[in-house]
Structure 1
Amino acid sequence: MTLSEEIITIAAVVAGTMVTRFLPFVLFPANKKTPPLVVFLGKMLPTAVMGMLVVYSLKDTQLLSGYHGLPEAIAVALTVLLQATVRNLLLTIAAGTIGYMLLVQYIFV
């Protein structure tokens, strides 16, 4: 890349970042009521994203061979149990991931 192409690329990335950061404050100022669609999406999207992550994570699970999805089932149960008790999403996802990795690396070899 030439120097001018590098400068244009950096400028485009900076502009894109600034637009995505500042546009919500321009479209939805603090003194205006938030539109009902945005409120609805704010309530529903986190659950929908988590559902999509579960489907994506379990889509290649082989139920008819090997351990029949037992490590995945244990990791999902651990994740659900922690979320139900602790209610800390970061801890829940980390513990589920670490639990799954430990299961497939050391127990279900």
Structure 2
Amino acid sequence: MAESWYLAAFIGVTAIATFATRVIPFLFFERHTDHPLIKHLGRYLPAAVMALLATVFLQRSANWSADVPGLDALLPGLLVVVIHLWRRNALLSIAAGTIAYMTIQQLALVPA
């Protein structure tokens, strides 16, 4: 019984901390949206984060010792780019890339 309360408290504190880290920047930056640094970060940071995530994904997830090195990760990555340029919908492009990657991995569509 004591473990249940401990786990509930742990989950509650974690949920509050996660929520706070998401809300505090919006509360703090609401009055500072005209600041040049905030405009600069808002313009360039999303692309930089996506480039970093793509680089880590290709390094960690691709099979670089396959017949065609990295094809198992490059194909879904290309699909994400094409769908995003076509529809301009991040959720759709990320979902399509994830589904394509998992399909390639589960069905072994790219020879190792």
TM-score between the two structures when normalised by the length of structure 1: 0.71
Q: What's the offset of the Cα at 1:88?
A: 0.4
Q: Take 2:82 and 2:29, find their aligned partners in 1: how far apart are those partners?
A: 39
Matched, 1:48 2:48: yes
- Residue 110 of structure 2 corresponds to which residue in structure 1? 108
Q: Take 1:59 and 1:90, find their aligned partners in 2: how far apart are those partners?
A: 23
- Residue 71 of structure 2 corresponds to which residue in structure 1? 70
Percent of paired sites with the same residue:
28
Q: Take 1:74 and 1:15, find their aligned partners in 2: how far apart are those partners?
A: 37
Kindly indicate which of the two structures has a greater share of residues assigned to helix.
2
Change beyond 3 A, Cα 1:16–1:88: closer
Q: Take 1:33 and 1:104, find their aligned partners in 2: how far apart are those partners?
A: 43
Contact 1:71 1:104 in 2 (8 A): yes
Amino acid at match of 2:53: L
Which blocks of at least 5 consecutive residues in structure 1 are unaligned?
none
Query: In terms of Rg, which structure is larger?
Result: 1
TM-score between the two structures when normalised by the length of structure 2: 0.69
Change beyond 3 A, Cα 1:69–1:41: same
After TM superposition, the runs of 4+ consecutive aligned structure 1 residues lying more than 6 A away are: none
Q: Take 1:100 and 1:85, find their aligned partners in 2: how far apart are those partners?
A: 19
Q: Take 2:83 and 2:39, find their aligned partners in 1: how far apart are those partners?
A: 27
Q: What's the offset of the Cα at 1:63?
A: 2.8
Change beyond 3 A, Cα 1:47–1:15: closer
Computed over aligned residues only, the root mean square deviation of the Cα atoms, in angstroms, reads: 3.1
